Amino acid sequence: MTVWRLPPQGLAALRPLLRSGWVKPMLFLICLGPLAWLLRGLGLDALGANPAEFLIRATGDWTLRALCLALAVTPLRVTFGLPELARLRRMLGLFTFFYASLHLVCYAWFDMGWDLPDITADIVKRPFIWVGFTAFLLLSVLAATSFNAAIRWLGGQRWQALHRLVYAVALLAVLHFFWMRAGKQNFAEVAVYAVILGSLLGWRVRRALRRPLR
């Protein structure tokens, strides 16, 4: 497979930047930006007429965006020949789980008032809720096994196989978003995320099919 790479001068500029010690702290602060924006809006009463609904939807949106960024790391790393990007993938994956957790907390708090029997009944009753909850459970497994100790305990191959569950998470997340918007017949944003995630997963499928059999 032919890999397109940046010109040497482009790589020379990017690699020291990606290798520097402050890249991860900067990425951490950038990833916290949406939370800071939401908290500021909440404090200033600037989240619209229904702040609870706004927070539920916004945390869901940022979960999808973080997931897209996490899945984009490998295609960008391979396509542009930048192995240094791999060191950012774990943080993006954990922030995906972080915003998914906030999304679940906002739903359980603002929609359901922390009433566990009602939450359980709602998950069973409404397909888009149980699809989203299933995606969250899978993300929880990935987050819990994202550390080096888990890689050593599981072994490299089993760890990689387990973390391919992220592809199922992506499909479930888009389905969750689709069903949520189906009631209002508003699919424009759903289509955008579906195209982005479909392209990222399609890149992986094409790459796997092009690998020579051994």
pLDDT exceeds 90 at position 158: yes
Q: Quick check: 60 and 103 in contact, CB under 8 A?
A: yes
Burial class (CB in 10 A: 0-12, 13-18, 19+), 97: buried
Using the CB atoms, write b or e for 41-72: b if 16+ within 10 Å: beeeeebeeebeebbbebbbbbbbbbbbbbbb
Residue bearing the bigger pLDDT, 181 or 158: 158
Residue 2, domain member (yes or no): no
Residue 202, domain member (yes or no): yes
* Average pLDDT in the chain: 90
Residue 133, domain member (yes or no): yes
Paired tokens of 109 = 């708090």
Residue 1, domain member (yes or no): no
Residue bearing the bigger pLDDT, 164 or 1: 164
With tokens 């930006």, the residue in question is 33
**Dihedral, CA atoms, 189, 191, 192, 198, nearest 10 degrees?**
140
Residue 106, domain member (yes or no): yes
Q: Quick check: 79 and 3 in contact, CB under 8 A?
A: yes
Residue 74, domain member (yes or no): yes
pLDDT in tens, 56-105: 999 999 999 999 999 999 999 998 888 999 999 999 999 999 999 999 99
Number of separate domains in the chain: 1
Span 20-35, average pLDDT: 94
Structural domain boundaries enclosing 62: 8-210
Residue 137, domain member (yes or no): yes
Residue 62, domain member (yes or no): yes
Q: Among 159, 173, 150, which Cα is nearest to 64's? A: 173
With tokens 């899945």, the residue in question is 71
pLDDT in tens, 176-187: 999 988 877 778
Using the CB atoms, write b or e for 161-184: b if 16+ within 10 Å: eebeebeebbebbbbbbbbbbeee
Residue bearing the bigger pLDDT, 12 or 106: 106
Q: Among 127, 126, 131, 210, which Cα is nearest to 170's? A: 131
Spatial neighbors of 67 by CB under 8 A, at least 6 apart, are 96, 166, 169, 170, 173, 197
